[in-house]
Structures are given as structure tokens and as C-alpha cells.
């Protein structure tokens, strides 16, 4: 593909598919009862935010932590749970992030004739499989919801929603 055409295609896809405008409140791992996050409002120092080695824990408008996958993903380092003073995050709970990931085939480069494996390259779990070098899909029986694939996708074709929605 000619360089100019390729750039045009990338910018055209990127302009059509922006990251979601509305906040997606995927909460940190090590929590099994979503309702417990209401306690976070009373947690003055919010130590989980500082403890996160990937700096993906942010606070929503209600000062409740959520995961922002724009720049990185969760390594399940356990640090947020170790410092949580109110047992909202507890190490004994599963390392489960309640997010369901998928690939938008209408905008994904590899679904539209352009070689790209950015999502697969960062997936520690090898949860993304290609048909040859095209048509990637995410196997949600393997995916941990870590979010590393989200920010690296050039046209923002990796989507996620709170699970169960
Ligand atoms: S487990 Fe580690 S990387 Fe994941 S959200 Fe908690 S502190 Fe951040
Ligand atoms: S440390 Fe625990 S209680 Fe405090 S904001 Fe984070 S998750 Fe909530
Ligand atoms: S497919 Fe799932 S496990 Fe792989 S990087 Fe994306 S969110 Fe993480």
C-alpha cells in the first residue's frame, strides 16, 4: 500500500473510532462485592492509587477508584489489595477484573487487510488469536481483563465493557 494511502487510512479509521466518551468504571481487582466500593468515599488517603505500579488506578467523580487502561494495564501485582485499609480489595479474592474485552472488526486494521498485531504482542495470556495474520479475536475464557491490549491499538478497536454489563 502506498505510504500516503496507508496514512490516510489510519487517520480515517482513527477519526471514526474514538475511545469511549462515557466513563467506563471497571474497578480494581481483588474485589468480589462491587457494593463495597461505596466505602471508598470515606477512605481519605486512597492508598491504592499511589500503590499501583502501573498508575492505572484513578478516581471517578465520586472519588471511587477505577482502572484507566489508556496507557497501561494491570499486572496483578497485588499492591492495591495489600494497602487497602477497609477490605474493599482483599488478596484472598480472585485476581479478577470485571471487564469484557472484544475487538471491533469494522475498525480493526487486521480485520481490514492491514497487518497489525499490536494487541497480541502485549497480551501476556496469549488470549488473542489470529486466523493466519488477520482476523484477531479475544478468547474470553483466557482473557484476564488486564487491559494491556486497549491502549496499544492504533484505531482504538479494542473495546471493553463492565462485566457482567
Ligand atoms: S494489582 Fe497492581 S497493577 Fe493491578 S490495579 Fe492493583 S496495584 Fe495496579
Ligand atoms: S485503598 Fe481501598 S478503601 Fe481506599 S480507595 Fe482504594 S479500594 Fe477504596
Ligand atoms: S486480551 Fe485480555 S488478557 Fe490479553 S491483553 Fe487484552 S485484556 Fe489482557
pLDDT digits (tens, 9 = 90+) for 64-82: 999 999 999 999 999 999 9
For the Cβ of 74 lying below 6 angstroms from any atom of ligand 2, the answer is no
Instruction: Answer for the pair 68, 30: CB distance below 8 angstroms, yes or no.
Output: no
- Kindly report the protein residue whose alpha carbon is nearest to atom 2 of ligand 3: 143
Query: Hey, what's the torsion of the CAs at 136, 138, 143, 147, to 10 degrees?
Result: 70
Q: In CATH terms, are 34-83 and 98-162 the same topology?
A: yes
Ligand 2, residues 30, 44, 48: which to mutate, most atoms within 8 A of Cβ?
48
For domain 34-83, the CATH architecture is 2-Layer Sandwich (3.30)
Ligand 2, residues 26, 88, 90, 97: which to mutate, most atoms within 8 A of Cβ?
88
48-86: string of b/e by CB count within 10 Å (b at 16+)?
bbebbebebbeeeeeebbbbbbeebbbebeebbbebbee
**Predicted pLDDT at 37:** 96
For residue 57, the ligand 2 atom closest to its alpha carbon is: 6
How is the chain split into domains, by residue range? Answer: 34-83, 98-162
CATH fold, domain 98-162, is Alpha-Beta Plaits (3.30.70)
For the Cβ of 64 lying below 6 angstroms from any atom of ligand 2, the answer is no
**Predicted pLDDT at 130:** 98
Handedness of CA 109, 114, 116, 120 (dihedral sign): positive
Least confident of 22-36, 55-69, 129-143: 22-36
Amino acid at each position: 500500500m502506498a505510504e500516503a494511502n496507508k496514512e490516510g487510512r489510519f487517520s480515517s479509521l482513527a477519526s471514526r473510532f474514538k475511545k469511549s466518551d462515557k466513563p467506563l468504571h471497571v474497578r480494581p481487582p481483588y474485589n468480589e462485592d462491587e457494593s463495597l466500593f461505596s466505602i471508598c468515599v470515606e477512605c481519605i488517603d486512597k492508598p491504592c492509587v499511589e500503590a499501583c505500579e502501573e498508575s492505572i488506578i484513578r478516581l471517578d467523580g465520586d472519588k471511587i477508584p477505577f482502572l484507566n487502561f489508556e496507557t497501561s494495564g494491570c499486572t496483578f501485582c497485588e499492591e492495591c489489595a495489600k494497602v487497602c485499609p477497609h477490605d474493599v480489595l482483599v488478596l484472598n479474592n480472585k485476581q479478577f477484573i470485571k471487564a469484557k474485552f472484544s475487538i471491533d472488526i469494522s475498525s480493526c486494521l487486521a480485520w481490514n487487510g492491514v497487518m497489525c498485531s499490536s494487541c497480541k504482542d502485549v497480551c501476556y495470556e496469549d488470549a488473542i488469536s489470529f486466523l493466519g495474520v488477520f482476523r484477531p479475536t479475544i478468547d474470553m475464557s483466557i482473557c484476564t481483563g488486564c487491559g494491556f491490549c486497549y491502549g496499544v491499538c492504533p484505531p482504538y478497536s479494542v473495546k471493553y465493557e463492565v462485566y457482567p454489563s
